[in-house]
Amino acid sequence: MKRSVLYAAAMMAVTGVMMWHNPMISHAEPVQEEAVQISEVLLVPSEEEVLAQSGPDAEIQKALAEAKAAEEAAAQAAEEAEAEQNARQSLVDYALQFVGGAYKAGGSDPHTGADCSGFVKYVMQYGAGISMNRSSTSQSTQGQAIDASQMQPGDLIFYGNGSRINHVAMYIGDGQIVHASTYKTGIKTSEWDYRDPVKIITMF
């Protein structure tokens, strides 16, 4: 009897301790969490700040982009034009080194003698890396035909009897050409219109 009473008392003591650590919550009284109120202050930016953050409107942005693209295109075109002028001058300088060389019918090397089309074929190939046909008639079908007003150093001028082409020369600027002329005169410079041109072409 005493053991039963002692056991019951011990159980009640343990249960009391547990309830003290974990008090029971009545479903009739729900727990209310402490509400945390956060107050936000909305700052309305000025018009200047909005423009500074968002930038110009779409039309202005488009205009700026187009202007930038046009500027870049113009710079690229200028670089290409300068490169072409340098290539033309380099070709002319290369051709002029052969002035005084011999004319040779059927010759293709101005170091040993060349005719007009052989001379042009050689200097175009080794002076500018441009491949040309062998005869003046077939060379006249290459490249792009231009007017005398468009002529630049390095362009080719063809001469003939009527419309039949029988001679070709290279324009070197300042109204001058270089060409393999005749057995008597060899490779020389002349006025570009010493004969009536039949056709002018550019290979650039």
Catalytic (active-site) positions: 116, 167, 179
According to DSSP, residue 162 is labeled T
Alpha-carbon distance 194 to 175, whole Å? Answer: 10
- Considering only CA atoms, which of 113, 189, 200 is closest in space to residue 165? 200
Q: How many CB atoms lie within 10 A of CB 59?
A: 8
Q: How many CB atoms lie within 10 A of CB 136?
A: 24
* Cα of 112 vs its chain's centroid, Å: 42
Phi, psi of 192, deg, nearest 5: -65, -25
Instruction: Report whether 157 contacts 177 (CB < 8 A).
Output: yes
Alpha-carbon distance 90 to 74, whole Å? Answer: 24
Letter string b/e over residues 82-112, b meaning 16 or more CB atoms within 10 A of that residue's CB: eeeeebbeebbebbbebeebebbeebbebee
